[in-house]
Structure 1
Amino acid sequence: MEIKETLNVPVKYLWHNILKSVLYDARKETGKPLTETQLTGLKYTKTFSNHQQATLQILTVEPEQEYAYTTTTARNAYTVRYVLTPAGDGKTTVVYTEKIDSKGGLQKANDFITSILLGWQRKRGFKKMLKQMEETYQQA
């Protein structure tokens, strides 16, 4: 899945919001206060609300340009990437991609069907989150 949106916010603002969330999550799961420069390569176990666990590894942290991570479970590996590009006049184009590598044929079929059935809902939610960030910036 890929989503490309241009927002009326500067790159620095959008990057700060993404990293604030990443740093919060990393601190919550590791118990360690971390900085942006310590994130690349960081690997930790994340526990979800349904008590499922996954290994999260931060792949890329290029300030105000790119953030990527992989979440690995027994069933699949889920890679997410944010690429930020200045679009002039204080605007930013964000390209969000996610890729699922499933383990086993049955899991691949299940993930494919799920992506078809729920993909539009996930895209809608992500776009809504971006618009909320944009609105918050405009109100400040």
Structure 2
Amino acid sequence: MEIKSRLNVPAPFFYKKVIDSALYDIAQATNKNLKEKELEGFEYIKTFANKDQAKIKIERVNKDRCYHFKTSTNKNIFKVVYQISELDENSCQIAYQETMESVGIIQQVNDLLVGIILGYFKKKQFKAMLARIESTYLSREEYTQN
């Protein structure tokens, strides 16, 4: 899945939202309070509500530019890339890419069929998240002007 979107938020604002989310996720999963500079190369195990587990590795962190991570389960390997390009001081371009490798032939067939259906909903959900981030910035900006 690949999504490109222009947002009316500064690149550092969007980057901070992504990093804060990652740091929160790590704290919830490990009880460790990392700093941004400790993220690259960090690996941890996340347990989901249904007791499934995934190994997450932060692969690349470049301030205000990119955030890459990999999630591995016994069925799939997901790679996620956020590329952030500053357009001007108040806007940025987000390029989001998510790839999935399935483990085993049966899982590949299942993921292919399910992926076609869920892909649409995942894109819609991701675009809604981007809109929420943009609205938090814009409402914050309106608040500071009053």
Give the TM-score of the pair, scaled to structure 1: 0.97
Deviation (angstroms), 1:89: 4.8
Residue equivalent to 1:75: 75
Question: What's the CA shift string for 1:24-71, capped at 9, x where partnerless?
Answer: 111111111100010111111101121110111110111101101111
Runs of 4+ in 1 over 2 A off after TM superposition: none
The one-character-per-residue Cα deviations of 1:85-111 (angstroms, maximum 9, x if unpaired) are 011251110011000011111111111
SS in 2 for 1:49: coil
SS of match in other structure, 1:28: helix
Which structure 1 residue ranges, 5 or more long, are not aligned?
none
SS of the residue corresponding to residue 40 of structure 1 reads coil
* Alignment correspondent of 1:60: 60
Q: Which letter maps to 2:120?
A: W
Q: Distance in 2 between matches of 1:35 and 1:3?
A: 28
Is there any run of 5+ residues in structure 2 with no aligned partner, and where? Answer: 141-146
Amino acid at match of 2:98: E
**Alignment pair present for 1:93 and 2:93:** yes
Which residue of 2 is the match for residue 8 of structure 1? 8
Q: Corresponding residue for 1:130?
A: 130
Aligned to 1:106: 106
Matched ranges for 1:27-46 at <5 A: 27-46=27-46
Q: How many residues align?
A: 140
**d(CA) in 2 for partners of 1:37 and 1:104?**
36
Calculate percent identity across the aligned residue pairs. Answer: 36
Q: Secondary structure at the match of 2:123?
A: helix
Task: Please name the residue that 1:50 is paired with.
Answer: 50
What CA RMSD, in Å, does the superposition of the two structures yield over aligned residues? 0.8
User: Which has the larger Rg?
Assistant: 2
TM-score computed with the length of structure 2 as normaliser: 0.93
Q: Distance in 2 between matches of 1:108 and 1:95?
A: 26
Whole-angstrom CA distance in 2 between matches of 1:27 and 1:115: 30
Q: Partners of 1:45 and 1:126 in 2: how far apart?
A: 24
* DSSP 3-state at the match of 2:49: coil
User: 1: CA distance between counterparts of 2:67 and 2:89?
Assistant: 23
